């Protein structure tokens, strides 16, 4: 199995496209197999999403509705509403897998791999990529 870790800074950007980083990794490894993407953080997730046409903004806006930044959360350290960040991975998984054909991710036409991160308290993220040859 081939592996790589990538350091990211998400900051105020709630949806961060990491498709290029994933594509570079699988191109370097080459061949057919499965790309596994994992985000080892308790307050962020991964999604396959169309970007640039409004879906990314829609997701971020609706997360604000689903997970309001107020004092309803039992998990209360950090910035106001930080407890919502800890619920996010229950809705948006911190891992996903993508088939790889001949060193290229077999994504749909409009699919991108994105990090979903509402936690402004911790903008530093580690993305773990693993390639299992098929």
pLDDT tens digits along 9-45? 997 789 999 999 999 999 999 999 999 999 999 999 9
pTM, entire model: 0.93
CATH of region 2-133, choose from 3.40.50.1370, 2.40.30.10, 3.40.50.12500, 2.60.120.460: 2.60.120.460
78 pLDDT more than 90: no
pLDDT tens digits along 40-63? 999 999 999 999 899 999 999 999
Average pLDDT, the chain: 93
pLDDT-derived band at 104, boundaries 50, 70, 90: very high
Order the strands of the 15-17 sheet from edge to edge: 15-17, 112-117, 44-49
Residue from 65, 67, 95 nearest 80 by CA: 67
């Amino acid at each position: 199995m081939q592996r790589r870790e990538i350091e990211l800074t998400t900051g105020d950007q709630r949806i961060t496209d990491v498709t290029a980083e994933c594509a570079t990794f699988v191109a370097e490894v080459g061949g057919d197999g499965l790309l596994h993407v994992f985000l080892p953080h308790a307050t962020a997730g991964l999604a396959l999403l169309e970007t640039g046409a409004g879906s990314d903004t829609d997701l971020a806006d609706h997360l604000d509705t689903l997970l309001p930044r107020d004092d309803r959360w039992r998990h209360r350290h950090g910035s106001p509403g930080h407890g919502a960040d800890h619920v996010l991975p229950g809705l948006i998984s911190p891992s996903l897998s993508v088939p790889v054909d001949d060193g290229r991710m077999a994504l749909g036409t409009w699919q991108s791999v994105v990090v979903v991160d509402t936690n402004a308290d911790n903008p530093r993220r580690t993305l773990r990529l693993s390639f299992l040859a098929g």
